[in-house]
Amino acid sequence: MAKTHNFSFKTDIRERMNFLKNTGSLREVGALTMSSKYVVRHVLKLLPHKFNTVIEYGPGSGVMTEAILKRLSSRGKLLAVEANAKFTKTLNRLKDPRLRVLHCKAQHLASELIREFSRADAVLSSIPFTFLTSADRLRVVSDAYKMLASGGIFVVFHQYTPLMFYPLHKTFRSVAIKFEPRNVFPCFILIAKK
């Protein structure tokens, strides 16, 4: 069974320090700390009431991953795509049969994998889009679109600028922007619907 994050002050500080220790390159991880419980709650509220397949780009230490697994059906699937090797090891310790951890960059997903997950209810991303080229940003958006079922959502969160609004708007039928101030640092959450 996956450990649950206890957001007591002492535990929260320890987990955030561990996150910093494992980040390696800011260009790779894109955050100085994990998403706050407020960001996690905000994103979870956006998900459909019942969902079976979710893809998560840039799960980091797994704060969002664990929250998704708590709500995921017993036959559900969660694909976690993480570029950082240390975080990949952390995610693999969750030992949940519904979770598949893939060590690669979101912009380098194989076409076979995109076909395998072509009916996802949601794609969630906290990857550092500001450090990607314009072509890589568009590829991530295009791949997310291909993996989503009709009516599925692509949620881009833990973003410090609304940079991804226009790439999302080019591909998805509707895009909304939310703001969550209770995070280090306050962040934008973009919701694109297929």
pLDDT at 172 over 90: yes
**Average pLDDT of span 176-192:** 94
pLDDT at 66 over 70: yes
No. of H helices and E strands in the chain? Answer: 8, 7
**Is residue 179 in a domain?**
yes
Question: Residue 17, SS3?
Answer: helix
Q: The domain spanning residue 189 has which CATH number? A: 3.40.50.150
Q: Is 14 exposed, middle or buried (0-12, 13-18, 19+ CB in 10 A)?
A: exposed
Range of the domain at 44: 31-193
**Is residue 164 in a domain?**
yes
Using alpha carbons, select from 102, 158, 88 the residue that is nearest to residue 127: 158
Helical (H) or strand (E) element with 156 = strand 148-159
pLDDT at 7 over 50: no
Domain count for the chain, please give it.
Answer: 1
Q: Residue 9: what pLDDT?
A: 44
CA distance 98 to 75: 7
- Provide the token pair at 182: 């209770």
pLDDT at 136 over 90: yes
**Is residue 3 in a domain?**
no
Q: Residue 158: what pLDDT?
A: 82
**Is residue 22 in a domain?**
no
User: Of 139 and 9, which is predicted with more confidence?
Assistant: 139
pLDDT at 4 over 70: no
Walk across the sheet containing 120-125 and list its strands.
Answer: 99-103, 77-82, 53-57, 120-125, 148-159, 187-193, 174-180
pLDDT digits (tens, 9 = 90+) for 50-65: 899 999 999 999 999 9
Q: Residue 3: what pLDDT?
A: 44
**Is residue 17 in a domain?**
no
pLDDT digits (tens, 9 = 90+) for 103-116: 999 999 988 888 88
Using alpha carbons, select from 45, 30, 131, 47 the residue that is nearest to residue 84: 30
CA distance 107 to 192: 18
Q: Residue 24: what pLDDT?
A: 56
**Is residue 148 in a domain?**
yes
Percent of the chain with pLDDT over 90: 70
**Average pLDDT of span 35-62:** 95
Q: pTM to 2 decimals?
A: 0.85
Using alpha carbons, select from 165, 159, 162 the residue that is nearest to residue 186: 159
Query: Is the N-terminal amide bond of 185 cis, ω within 30° of 0?
Result: yes
**Is residue 152 in a domain?**
yes
**Average pLDDT of span 45-51:** 93
**Is residue 23 in a domain?**
no
Using alpha carbons, select from 109, 68, 57, 65 the residue that is nearest to residue 90: 65
pLDDT digits (tens, 9 = 90+) for 72-94: 999 999 999 999 999 999 999 99
**Average pLDDT of span 164-173:** 97
